[in-house]
Chains A and B, each alone.
Chain A
Amino acid sequence: MRTWLRKRRFWRTLQAADERELNASELIFLNACRQDDPVVAAEEEAQQVCLAALRACVIEPDDDPTFDRRLMRRYRIERMKARAEYWSPAVVGAAVAAIAVLAFLQVLTGPSNLRTIDTSRSEVHNTRPERVFFPEFRPSLRDDR
């Protein structure tokens, strides 16, 4: 338990060196840990090696001359889309209103005989044909005699 706590303190102190300068007692503690525990010393060395390897693996990308052009094209497309999205409700609303007005005008100014035709049709459907009787052709019993 004591060793574990000591090891933990060792790594914490080592990390503190990132942010500030260590004082004399901290440096003595680190050195004592290294001497007392060879495993800690080996781990510290391994950490230094692997972090140095990591730092050496920095990527320095080449300057792509088409980057700006591609970006500006994407920017313009995005702006156009944004504008279309912004105005589309207004355009749809205006179109619906225009269709409604046109339909209304059509009804108002349309030919008046349409109504007559419709009315007569409805009358045709609603009335039954009248029966026509011809009295002179009505058969009579007297003729049979």
Chain B
Amino acid sequence: MQATMNANTMNSYADPHAQELFWLQRCKDGDEAALGVLVARHRTRLIRVASNILRDTYEAEDVAQESFLKAFRELPNLRDDRAFAGYLYRICVRLCMDRLRVRKPGVAEFDGSVPHEGGAVENRLLIEKLLAQLSPDLRLTLVLREIEQLSYEEVASAMQVPVGTVRSRLHAAREKFRDLWLNATKETR
């Protein structure tokens, strides 16, 4: 009943930002329905970014759940409620980074006898192999910029590093990725 009333009250908020603040306040008061609303709002984006960084949907879901749990745990300490989305995103990126660091670095296993045809599936496999060979920092920077299409400032905020570091990492990541790509596809050229 209470939740329905709150939902009706929410309809009066046209601004999604104001809605977010409302649900956050409800969460702080211990309302589980409000938690559900926040999860529904941010779930898709979080799973997507984690999937693209980790290249594993199951692990990405696990990371997304951990991110939500950590965010809800720290919710009472959040100073600025307006920053919740960014805060959640940062947690997710950091958890992905931790997972990448634990993984063993990828080993180049290019079969020179099979020429790279450039098909969609083949490209995908190749890209995943190449990404596995980048260091976690370079990989994360490249994915956030190229796949997630974040600006330099947004990448810096998500990774909690200065913008200058993002610039140099992106430069190094592109260079390394290009060299790996050239090395992998040189048989067909």
**Are A and B a genuine interacting pair, yes or no?**
yes
A56–B178 contact, CB under 8 A?
A: no
Report B-chain residues with C-beta under 8 Å of the C-beta of A64: 61
Bound complex: CA A6 to CA B119 (Å): 35
Please judge, given known A-B contacts A71-B39, A75-B35, whether A58 and B171 are in contact too, CB under 8 Å. no
Extra A-B contacts (4), CB below 8 Å, given A15-B167, A50-B178: A18-B170, A50-B181, A55-B146, A61-B47
B65–A59 contact, CB under 8 A?
A: no
A4 to chain B, nearest CB (A): 14
Decide yes or no whether A72 CB sits under 8 A from chain B.
yes
B95 to chain A, nearest CB (A): 14
B182–A57 contact, CB under 8 A?
A: no
Q: Which 3 A-B pairs have the closest CB atoms?
A: A50-B181, A59-B51, A47-B178
Residue of A nearest to B48 (CB): A61
A54–B65 contact, CB under 8 A?
A: no
B178–A68 contact, CB under 8 A?
A: no
Q: Which secondary structure dominates chain A's binding surface?
A: helix
Decide yes or no whether A78 CB sits under 8 A from chain B.
yes
Report A-chain residues with C-beta under 8 Å of the C-beta of B142: 54
Count the A residues whose beta carbon is within 8 Å of the partner chain — how many? Answer: 30
A53–B123 contact, CB under 8 A?
A: yes
Which residues of B pack against A, CB within 8 Å? 32, 35-36, 39-40, 43-44, 47-48, 51-52, 55, 57, 60-61, 64-65, 68-69, 72-73, 120, 123-124, 126-128, 130-131, 142, 146-147, 152, 167, 170-171, 174-175, 177-178, 181-182
Report A-chain residues with C-beta under 8 Å of the C-beta of B61: 61, 64, 67
Bound complex: CA A47 to CA B176 (Å): 10
A75–B181 contact, CB under 8 A?
A: no
Report A-chain residues with C-beta under 8 Å of the C-beta of B147: 54-55, 57-58
Report B-chain residues with C-beta under 8 Å of the C-beta of A49: 181
Which residues of A pack against B, CB within 8 Å? 11-12, 15, 18-19, 43, 46-47, 49-51, 53-61, 63-64, 67-68, 70-72, 74-75, 78
Bound complex: CA A46 to CA B69 (Å): 42
Sample 23 A-B pairs with CB under 8 A, ordered by A number. Answer: A15-B167, A15-B174, A19-B152, A46-B181, A47-B178, A49-B181, A50-B130, A50-B177, A51-B177, A54-B127, A59-B48, A59-B51, A60-B48, A61-B44, A61-B48, A61-B51, A67-B43, A71-B39, A72-B36, A74-B65, A74-B69, A75-B35, A75-B68
Bound complex: CA A75 to CA B36 (Å): 11
A11 to chain B, nearest CB (A): 7
B60–A46 contact, CB under 8 A?
A: no
B171–A15 contact, CB under 8 A?
A: yes
Bound complex: CA A12 to CA B167 (Å): 9
Bound complex: CA A53 to CA B174 (Å): 13
Report A-chain residues with C-beta under 8 Å of the C-beta of B178: 43, 46-47, 50
A71–B68 contact, CB under 8 A?
A: yes
Bound complex: CA A123 to CA B131 (Å): 88
